Amino acid sequence: MSPLDAPIQAGGSISGRILTEFVDGLIAAIPRIVSGAVFLLFAYLVIRVVLTVTRTVLDRIYPDEERLIVDLSVAVVGLFLWFGAALALLTIVGLGEVAASLGTAGGFIGLGVAFALKEMIADTVSGVYLLKDPDFTPGDRVETASVSGTVTEIGLRKTRIRDDDGELVVLANRDVEKKWTNRSRTPTSSTDGAADSTSSSTE
């Protein structure tokens, strides 16, 4: 045996062991890979159905001119659903620690997104209440904390009021909902705020 034979044999033995371990690991991972692929297909179908239903519901709530809100809402819902699916997929394929780390980071990101959208959500919720309130309708003369005038339009995010000078004032619904008084109804129907009734007999 020449002096070079020993290193060559050692190198071949190491390469063979590495190849064997790789093949064994790949074979052992096949069930997880298959399970992950099946889960990914299932998640895709479920998320697609959820997003379709979400868009259908929001299309009925928001008018065409506020379609941007619908698109943004659907995108946010889809982002959270796919993020959750990705975490579940990592757990299925054996990367649970990575999934836990990403989940923690995702929680902070979610808080940031919620904080950024809180005003839009508050406007939308207030808009729903204003639209359903029979004492606050277009044509009514109302007084808010910042303006008095006639309601011309009530949207899900903004309310438009024409003031006494003829100027069209656009207010965020959350600001209107805090405190308003109807000045065009009978004393029994005058309203101060969305839920409190007051008398206007002293006017």
Residues 126 and 90 in one domain: no
Q: Does residue 28 sit within a domain?
A: yes
Whether pTM > 0.75 for this model: the answer is no
Does 111 reside within a domain? Answer: no
- CA distance linking residue 29 with residue 18, whole number of Å: 16
In angstroms, the first-to-last Cα distance of the chain is 115
Q: Residue 60 has what pLDDT?
A: 84
Q: Which two tokens stand for residue 14?
A: 């190491």
| Torsion, CA 65, CA 71, CA 74, CA 79, rounded to 10 | -150
Look at residue 156 and tell me if it is in a domain.
Answer: yes
Give the count of domains, the chain. 2
Residue 141 resides in a domain: yes
- Domain limits at 151? 121-203
What is the number of alpha carbons within 13 Å of residue 137 lying toward its C-beta? 7
pLDDT tens per residue across span 46-98: 999 999 999 998 888 777 766 777 887 888 889 889 988 998 988 888 877 87
